């Protein structure tokens, strides 16, 4: 989708981090921006920073009815949605054998089902409206690798990658003009390592062995060398070029290559983060 000016962008998780920067980048292109998040003050701040026509909708992406009502609001206000960012996400850490069911329910509800809900609510409407549109779902480098201590997060993000690939094939088969991309960043300094801030009390139980993994992830996120603004710029460039895979961190590709060779050669899986500092290279 080459021309963005005057079109409508919807950004879930638009109250912080990568979502905020996607919103700012879309506003800078002259798009009408709709923010969707559970963090209302965060959305107010993003709206202020955009300096443009911005709508903010409180929306828990884990709830299908919230995302459906978001789509209704967008189509009532603007009559169309051209660029959907399924971006809201959270992370937990800790070894798989001590993950809690609450960890799985919380993370899968947002990271995986949130994307399902976005596709359900928006793609049929985009097909009906006709013309060009684009769906970008934020997965992660963790959606292409298997990182120890991140199994809940990795499973959710692998799901987003394969769901996006399936959607891409289906829309091409349907001869639709809707493009699809999957965004796979490695570490970016945002609020992601502080995801617990929005965790609902009823899903509060956490992995009892999470702490050392969470501390490592927090450090890696804080040290991330590519900013959320740079990720957003790379993402919009990919939308304009109708490019499917968006790998913002070049070293990720080396780790994927090793993983694929492990699979093809049926050898023991290589740990992509063998030491506490190795992850910083991803």
Number of Cβ within a 10 Å radius of residue 279:
24
Sorted by sequence, the CB contacts under 8 Å of residue 162 that are 6+ apart come out as: none
Q: How far is the CB of 212 from ligand NAD (least distance, A)?
A: 18
Alpha carbon distances (Å) from 150 to 85, 162, 265: 23, 18, 24
Strands 133-138 and 245-247: what pairing?
unpaired
Sorted by sequence, the CB contacts under 8 Å of residue 167 that are 6+ apart come out as: 119, 123, 135, 180
Site for ligand NAD in 146-185 (CB under 6 A): 185
The residue within the footprint of ligand NAD, chosen from 198, 206, 207, 252 (CB under 6 A), is 198
Active site residue 245: no
Element spanning 184, H or E: strand 178-184
Alpha carbon distances (Å) from 102 to 65, 173, 206: 21, 38, 7
Strands 245-247 and 178-184: what pairing?
parallel
* 3 state SS for 80-113: CCCEEEECCCCCCCECHHHCCHHHHHHHHHHHHH
Q: How far is the CB of 275 from ligand NAD (least distance, A)?
A: 19
Q: Please report how many Cα atoms fall inside a 13 Å half-sphere around the Cα of residue 62, on the Cβ side.
A: 16
Q: If binding is defined by CB under 6 A, does position 42 make contact with ligand NAD?
A: yes
Distance CA(277)–CA(79), nearest Å, equals 48
Which span sits near ligand NAD by CB under 6 A: 11-19, 164-172, 258-266, 269-277? 11-19
Q: If binding is defined by CB under 6 A, does position 62 make contact with ligand NAD?
A: yes
Q: How far is the CB of 268 from ligand NAD (least distance, A)?
A: 26
By beta-carbon proximity to ligand NAD, the closer residue of 31 and 160 is 160
Distance CA(260)–CA(238), nearest Å, equals 24
Burial 44-82 (b: 16+ CB within 10 A, else e): eebbeebebebbbbebbbbbeebbeebbebbbeebebbb
150 DSSP assignment = B
Q: Which of 75, 153, 213, 245 is catalytic?
A: 153
How many residues lie near ligand NAD (CB under 6 A)?
32
Q: If binding is defined by CB under 6 A, does position 221 make contact with ligand NAD?
A: yes
Which span sits near ligand NAD by CB under 6 A: 73-81, 174-182, 190-198, 261-269? 190-198
Q: If binding is defined by CB under 6 A, does position 279 make contact with ligand NAD?
A: no
Q: How far is the CB of 40 from ligand NAD (least distance, A)?
A: 9
Which span sits near ligand NAD by CB under 6 A: 1-9, 59-67, 71-79, 262-270? 59-67
Q: If binding is defined by CB under 6 A, does position 89 make contact with ligand NAD?
A: yes
Which span sits near ligand NAD by CB under 6 A: 16-24, 70-78, 165-173, 266-274? 16-24
Q: How far is the CB of 163 from ligand NAD (least distance, A)?
A: 13
The residue within the footprint of ligand NAD, chosen from 33, 126, 155, 192 (CB under 6 A), is 192
**Residues in the site for ligand NAD, rule: CB under 6 A?**
12-13, 15-19, 37-39, 42, 59-62, 87-90, 110, 138, 140, 185, 187-188, 190-192, 195, 198, 221, 224
**Active-site residue list:** 153
């Amino acid at each position: 989708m080459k021309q963005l000016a005057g079109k409508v962008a919807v950004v879930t998780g638009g109250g912080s981090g990568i979502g905020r920067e996607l919103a700012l980048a879309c506003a800078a292109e002259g798009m009408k921006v709709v923010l969707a998040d559970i963090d209302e003050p965060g959305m107010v701040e993003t709206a202020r920073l955009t300096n443009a026509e911005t709508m903010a909708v409180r929306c828990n992406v884990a709830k299908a009815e919230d995302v459906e009502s978001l789509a209704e609001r967008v189509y009532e206000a603007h009559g169309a949605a051209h660029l959907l960012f399924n971006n809201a996400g959270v992370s937990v850490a800790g070894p798989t054998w001590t993950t809690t069911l609450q960890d799985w329910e919380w993370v899968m509800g947002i990271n995986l089902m949130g994307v399902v809900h976005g596709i359900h609510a928006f793609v049929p409407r985009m097909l009906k409206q006709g013309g060009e549109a684009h769906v970008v779902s934020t997965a992660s480098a963790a959606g292409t690798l298997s990182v120890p201590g991140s199994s809940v997060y990795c499973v959710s993000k692998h799901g987003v990658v394969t769901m996006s690939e399936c959607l891409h094939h289906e829309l091409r088969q349907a001869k639709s003009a809707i493009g699809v991309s999957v965004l796979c960043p490695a570490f970016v300094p945002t609020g992601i390592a502080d995801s617990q801030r929005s965790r609902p009390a009823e899903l509060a139980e956490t992995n009892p062995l999470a702490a050392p993994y969470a501390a490592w992830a927090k450090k890696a996120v804080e040290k991330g060398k590519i900013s959320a603004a740079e990720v957003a710029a790379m993402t919009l460039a990919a939308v304009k070029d109708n490019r499917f895979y968006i790998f913002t961190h070049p070293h990720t590709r080396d780790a994927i290559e090793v993983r694929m060779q492990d699979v093809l050669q049926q050898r023991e899986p290589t740990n992509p983060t063998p030491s506490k500092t190795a992850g910083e290279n991803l």
